[in-house]
Structure 1
Amino acid sequence: MNNDNSDFSKGEFTSLLLASLRGFSQVVFIENVISGVLILLAITISSYKLGIISLLSSIVGTLIGKIGGAPKNSVNSGLFGYNSVLTGLAVSLFLTGPSRWGIALLGAMIAAIFTATMMHFLKNIDLPILTFPFIVLTWFVLLASYKLDVFHLSDSLVPQSLAYWQLNIAGELNWTAGFLNNIEQIFFLNHPISGVLLYSAIFVASWQLGLHAVIGSIIALLLSYVLGGEHALILGGLYGYNAILTCMAVSIVFSSQSNRFKIVSGILATCLTIPLTASFSTWLLPYGLPVLTMPFVVSTWLFLGARKMLPNL
């Protein structure tokens, strides 16, 4: 009997770990354990603390799905982990103090519950939830810091008045660094090896997704430069990560053979993320909030919703 229980426990742990690793890969629309390992490695190389909190966050989110009785295929494919991964990373980065790790894990748990809620409400209109739970939850946590003393906002998030804002487009551009930073910013990273690993994680699972990640990154670099974006933001990848996710989502992940112009609509949706990023950044400036992946969500929902009436898109 003890051996049976031991085998069962090992089997459950293995299943939980594999599902949690897929939670990492689901951030970039992939259900692949190897890709998940590469992404976790990319995070850990940039910061071992972020690697630990991201893994724990994915496990917490996956556990909520399992304990809550979600469909096994949804849990095992990592769909309850990816919003938790991003939430854990964001909260641990944008808060300070000894309580931030506990808040990050609690946020990861709530992110999984929020994910389940969004799955229920959006299934009737046939739209994916994407990273919307992560965005809203992270913004609420960060804003709570102004009224609740246990939340300590990082010094990197400083509210600024638009009345004194000045656009600064001076400085040289390192296109290679910008290209790598574009994909790193999906996971809040800043390490060249991490960028290489993240692109590799996508190509390992699908060369088509990998190609569109590259296309999205290049479009973001060129268009943000032509439109006169701040060079520091372009170099830091802050215009690129939403473009990468959008290009993959609209052109490949949520398209079908019936969408004859899916590549064109994917490129248009990708281009739209650049002014959306600038707009959301301006809107959130007085609150000191990061844009996160909201431009990706808005642009993707816009084009996927349009396909209900314009199926060729």
Structure 2
Amino acid sequence: MRSSSGEVSGGARPPVKERPSDAASTVPKGVAQVIFQTSQWTGLIFIAGLFAGGWQFGVFGLLGTLAATVTAYLMGVAWDQVSIGLEGFCGTLTGVALALYLGANWMTAALVVGATVAGSVLTSAMGTVLKPYGLPASTGPFCVVTTVMAIGAPSFHRVWENRPDTAPPSATDPGTAMSWSDFWHGLLNGVAQVFFQDEWYVGVIFLAGLALASRFVAAVAAASSLVGLLIGWWLGAQAADIGAGLYGYNSVLTGVALAGTFIALSPVGAVYAAIGAATAAGLTAGLTNLFDVVGGHTLTWPYVLVCWVFLAAVPRYPKIRRAG
């Protein structure tokens, strides 16, 4: 798993040598790192989940991961960072998000490559700026690059003309009365939406991938999705949006990040992670409204902001410790 610095937990180690046999595993590991895992097998299951959601998400997710990984390698980033996927996961999300928002075409493919190259540079820059504060760049570079592209896209006819409809489900199905179908779909879609998928069976695939790496992490992801769903329901969010997992995925990332990845496991730490997951869900609606000018694309901003704040607060809380 990633540590609080965005690297693998553990003490200082000598640089890892490049091995051709490891090169092929960097891409699935990059996909796995979206939810803080280093297993190539988990990454392969995540990739299968993306293709189950739609061929375009699998293809563009892989394109983004590969472009980001190759860019980092060519720029001379340490192989022990590249080989475990830490330079690829923002590219994965960028590829999937742009395919979703702009459509699957050659123009989008070119934009994915350009965006991931820029995102790789931004990853290094943000890592340098945040390192003195012990904060990870996490998905921040993806959020910045994708938000900028979403803001600019309407100005370019060839980029914008074939975009799909990405309005939230509540646009055509308003109402706050949550049904049983909304509940169980929302629970699984909260995991699927980490990769911007809204099919419950994709959430099942992602949970299976997490369970292969760690049953504890899979349980935390499911529990965090439930927290996000319940917060959305309690506050009176639109039931169709809850069912689509829109209030769960930032809670999933926050819960997993704060429950053992960046924060050491403990009873108090578990409560801290649950509070973080609930906060991310509450922040989702506000940021969605703020980003309405770019189609309400909240991305993983709630997770990033909550994660930074909650990690920055740790030194003031003696009962909570950073992992690693």
Q: Judge same fold: TM > 0.5, yes or no.
A: yes
Superposition TM-score, scaled by structure 1 size: 0.88
Correspondent of 1:71 among 67, 73, 78:
78
Q: How does 1:261-276 map to 2 (within 5 A)?
A: 261-276=268-283
1-side partners of 2:120 and 2:41: how far apart?
23
1:190 aligns with 2:198: yes
- Deviation, structure 1 residue 145: 1.7
Q: Is the 8 A contact 1:181 1:236 kept in 2?
A: yes
Q: Counterpart of 2:37 in 1: which secondary structure?
A: coil
Correspondent of 1:291 among 298, 307, 318:
298
- AA aligned to 2:277 is T
| Higher deviation after alignment, 150-159 or 215-224 | 150-159
- Deviation, structure 1 residue 17: 2.0
- Deviation, structure 1 residue 28: 0.2
- Deviation, structure 1 residue 155: 4.7
2-side partners of 1:138 and 1:265: how far apart?
29
Q: Residue 48 and residue 157 in structure 1: after superposition, are their counterparts in 2 closer, same or farther (change >3 A)?
A: closer
1-side partners of 2:175 and 2:251: how far apart?
22
Partner of 1:126: 134
Correspondent of 1:178 among 178, 186, 197:
186
Q: Is the 8 A contact 1:185 1:237 kept in 2?
A: yes
Determine which structure has more spread, i.e. the larger CA radius of gyration. 1
Q: Is the 8 A contact 1:277 1:295 kept in 2?
A: yes
1:58 aligns with 2:53: no
Partner of 2:110: 102
How many residue pairs end up in the alignment? 296
1-side partners of 2:187 and 2:118: how far apart?
33
Partner of 1:20: 27
The superposition leaves residues 140-197 of structure 1 with CA deviations (integer Å, 9 ceiling, x where unpaired) of 11111233334316353579xxxxxxx7424634122111111111111133332111
- AA aligned to 2:289 is T
Partner of 2:286: 279
1:235 aligns with 2:257: no
Q: Is the 8 A contact 1:58 1:82 kept in 2?
A: yes
Q: Is the 8 A contact 1:17 1:59 kept in 2?
A: no
Partner of 1:113: 121
- AA aligned to 1:179 is L
Q: Is the 8 A contact 1:255 1:262 kept in 2?
A: yes
Structure 2: 5+ residue runs without aligned partners? Answer: 1-18, 169-173
Q: Is the 8 A contact 1:142 1:289 kept in 2?
A: no
Q: Is the 8 A contact 1:62 1:80 kept in 2?
A: yes
The superposition leaves residues 226-251 of structure 1 with CA deviations (integer Å, 9 ceiling, x where unpaired) of 11111011000000000011011112
Q: Counterpart of 1:124 in 2: which secondary structure?
A: helix
Q: Residue 272 and residue 240 in structure 1: after superposition, are their counterparts in 2 closer, same or farther (change >3 A)?
A: same
Q: Counterpart of 1:151 in 2: which secondary structure?
A: helix
Q: Is the 8 A contact 1:16 1:62 kept in 2?
A: no
2-side partners of 1:301 and 1:83: how far apart?
17
Correspondent of 2:310 among 285, 289, 303:
303
Q: Is the 8 A contact 2:45 2:205 kept in 1?
A: yes
2-side partners of 1:190 and 1:52: how far apart?
17
Between the aligned residues of both structures, percent identity stands at 26
1-side partners of 2:248 and 2:223: how far apart?
10
- AA aligned to 1:149 is H
| Higher deviation after alignment, 177-186 or 286-295 | 286-295
Partner of 1:145: 153
Aligned-residue Cα RMSD (Å) equals 2.2
- AA aligned to 2:55 is Y
The ranges of structure 1 where at least 4 consecutive aligned residues each deviate by more than 6 angstroms after the TM superposition are: none
Q: Is the 8 A contact 2:284 2:298 kept in 1?
A: yes
2-side partners of 1:146 and 1:193: how far apart?
33
Q: Residue 158 and residue 54 in structure 1: after superposition, are their counterparts in 2 closer, same or farther (change >3 A)?
A: closer
- AA aligned to 1:185 is Q
| Higher deviation after alignment, 87-96 or 149-158 | 149-158
2-side partners of 1:79 and 1:67: how far apart?
15
The superposition leaves residues 255-291 of structure 1 with CA deviations (integer Å, 9 ceiling, x where unpaired) of 126x662111111111111220011011112332300
The superposition leaves residues 70-108 of structure 1 with CA deviations (integer Å, 9 ceiling, x where unpaired) of 111100010110000000111121114641121122212
- AA aligned to 2:287 is F
Q: Is the 8 A contact 2:62 2:95 kept in 1?
A: no
Structure 1: 5+ residue runs without aligned partners? Answer: 1-10, 160-166
